[in-house]
Structure 1
């Protein structure tokens, strides 16, 4: 019977299949590397803009002054729908006000000091969150990769029944693919709880748009706000009639008096400058994974209650804990250092996994020299490209084209590695790129 596809077609199909697999592994590696770097998100902001005023606390009256100053600076612009006040925290001891059109740092007296300039940290966060793609597509894709890590971890355990018994057996002195396999298995075991926690929470965060939209369409007639209300609270009725800005000092004093153990991290004015405006306080709770509890106030400072993220249903408390658990925003610097170390190990597990597959192909007489070279280009190119964007930030400032620099640098390094390998192959030599083990 005549073959359905010619040998050349099959060869091209195998090459395309391998290339797609390499792209998936590259994106997974990119997510792990950027996730490790973004653990220091607040520290990167302070590094980017060291001249911004810092303080351990700010008075309620200074916050009122700061809001009035920012509102005055927005005269002639489109009315903002939200005004966020970032209060000083241990990780980021700065007071920052963000509207729909600007973000500024204010000093301890409430005066506008300098615009917020942390574009590089925001770029890095967006690269991890959504691969610089539109939010719906990017976060969904990253969420799917989180689910992939869960599947890889579970299947890896099933495929290696002795993986826990050999957890501390390391033949790292060998200079061949056995050492690569050992490092891969050992690091995978040592980081398994971390990898599962990161993958599960990452999948939940990334798939939020799909799950939320599906729930809204099937149970709430397409109303996304109503779908989220049982977890994060409902919004009051809007009234766009102009009204004076509320004073937030009484709200902050109420929190200090009635909730002294709660540290206010954010203060949010919803629909400021309208009769429908209201105030929401985000308060951090010690020794809790939740990002905070929502405390609702009317424009006149009347307390309307909490949402229940701290003491509501288990589902609410769980949903409020996912973000901090994923990014390591609890426990201070020691936890961040642990997350960085585990993140580096997880990145190495992803990198070595592809090398192991390439080694198996070589043993079967199918060396994938081009793919191996491309993979070396990715593993080296991603961190180098991130470093290049940071250098660009230091040279050109907040307006540097970080997205373009990162992707051009990554693709250029990968292409150079592939080109070098092909040139070496044309000369009849072995692959120009070494194996993982030196």
Structure 2
């Protein structure tokens, strides 16, 4: 490619990144953390009894007890089975959810407010879902643009693939780090960006396809992707979910049942559907269908359906790395950190080229490290407050911004230290609130990584603080007449 094309690509890359840096950073950061959303659900209530398997009788008893205590009208009933992701039994309807023990007794109400806020931040930026997802998907499209323009603008990809220069004022090493992260992980970044676009723009694409090929009938397009509900004789009576679940051992002994749904509860079209994870397949699950009496009707056909249907049902696991247990999750976490650091380093490179405008630089650091602090403080608040965590998080972000404007001493090192102290505070309050449950697997699988972050952030903040203190004296010495070499 000629020089003009590379320069144009670099300009597009720079300005797209700068104008959307805050939104891209928040989506990338929340997505990186939300890779462990199942683990966070366990972490929020670590004392709940966990189990590896459950019997049909236990499921029946748990649901019967739940319906007795929650008689309100609901279109759906759900049973979440114990799996390696969440080894707990949950029964719920459209309004509430309760955990059950191994005997089918209800334990306590499910409360995962912080996890829900975190996932909502990633998927919708905490905006109304109807257009929040469209905005986030548009950011996915922008991310695709940044990846492509970044590669096009790179002058010597093959020669510089492993170059990392150190020394000087640090700008060159930051550029090299930005380029290396962007180049090495570009396939992953593109997969995340494209699947992110799919989540929000699928309905828009569906409307266009329906208008062009099906006379505006969106349901016809939906039926091509999602198998229509089975046509059954009018159903009456209590759904026999235990009988349906018992048959899974015969129908699909190699699959792991994830959850059960009773559709259209109390209506003539009521039926039972069990979703089971297929081994060595990327699709989210295959669906097994039963009538109200628990008689097997058939499968939805996602596992061996047309390639387009299989692809659509694989997007979730591909986007969140939920396909190879903790191995794929940790891989996605590391690659997600690289994507998040691309947002950070890209903005810092731009700020460096502009001479580090004081207020803009401080505001950027308040977003980067202040958002980590805000998330930690929001999680602490959730332990004592039952209101909206979305309001809490964004109020904390506004406070961070106001403090940054008002206090000139809030540099990068200070914000990094604040983030570390905030996470440390979270661990302390977590220990106080959950006591002995703080040393269960459900707790430690997140508390240990958070403790590692505390150690790293405080050490890094202390290192940066020393550099900041040394910088003025070094500058004064270099500018002193006694130190200057005569012309």
- TM over 0.5: same fold? yes
- Structure 2 CA distance for aligned equivalents of residues 174 and 299 of structure 1: 72
What is the aligned counterpart of 1:418 among 405, 412, 417?
A: 405
Structure that is richer in helix per residue: 2
Change over 3 Å in CA distance of 1:278–1:180 after alignment to 2: same
Indicate conservation of the 8 Å contact 2:51/2:88, yes or no.
yes
- Structure 1 CA distance for aligned equivalents of residues 286 and 121 of structure 2: 28
Indicate conservation of the 8 Å contact 2:101/2:107, yes or no.
yes
**How far apart are 1:174 and its partner, in Å?**
3.8
Indicate conservation of the 8 Å contact 2:272/2:291, yes or no.
yes
**How far apart are 1:422 and its partner, in Å?**
11
**How far apart are 1:71 and its partner, in Å?**
1.7
Give aligned pairs, total.
402
Gap runs ≥5 in structure 2: 1-13, 412-463, 469-487
- The CA RMSD measured in Å over matched residues stands at 2.7
Counterpart residue number, 1:176 = 170
- Structure 2 CA distance for aligned equivalents of residues 224 and 103 of structure 1: 32
Counterpart residue number, 2:260 = 267
Change over 3 Å in CA distance of 1:411–1:20 after alignment to 2: farther
Indicate conservation of the 8 Å contact 2:278/2:285, yes or no.
yes
Query: Which structure 2 residues correspond to residues 375-414 of structure 1 after superposition, within 5 A?
Result: 375-394=364-383, 396=384, 399-414=386-401
| Structure 2 residue 23 is matched with structure 1 residue 31 | no
**How far apart are 1:289 and its partner, in Å?**
1.3
- Structure 2 CA distance for aligned equivalents of residues 205 and 96 of structure 1: 26
Counterpart residue number, 2:203 = 209
After superposition, the C-alpha distances for 1:239-259 in whole angstroms (9 at most, x for unaligned) are 9x8932111222222221121
Counterpart residue number, 2:295 = 302
- Structure 2 CA distance for aligned equivalents of residues 256 and 242 of structure 1: 25
**How far apart are 1:274 and its partner, in Å?**
2.8
Change over 3 Å in CA distance of 1:213–1:95 after alignment to 2: farther
**How far apart are 1:170 and its partner, in Å?**
0.7
TM-score, normalised via structure 1 length: 0.85
Indicate conservation of the 8 Å contact 1:265/1:282, yes or no.
yes
**How far apart are 1:423 and its partner, in Å?**
11
Change over 3 Å in CA distance of 1:90–1:306 after alignment to 2: same
| Structure 2 residue 321 is matched with structure 1 residue 334 | no
Counterpart residue number, 1:42 = 38
Indicate conservation of the 8 Å contact 2:277/2:286, yes or no.
yes
**How far apart are 1:197 and its partner, in Å?**
1.1
Change over 3 Å in CA distance of 1:218–1:299 after alignment to 2: farther
**How far apart are 1:203 and its partner, in Å?**
1.0
TM-score, normalised via structure 2 length: 0.77
**How far apart are 1:192 and its partner, in Å?**
1.2
- Structure 1 CA distance for aligned equivalents of residues 341 and 410 of structure 2: 28
Counterpart residue number, 2:427 = none
**How far apart are 1:301 and its partner, in Å?**
2.3
Change over 3 Å in CA distance of 1:228–1:242 after alignment to 2: closer
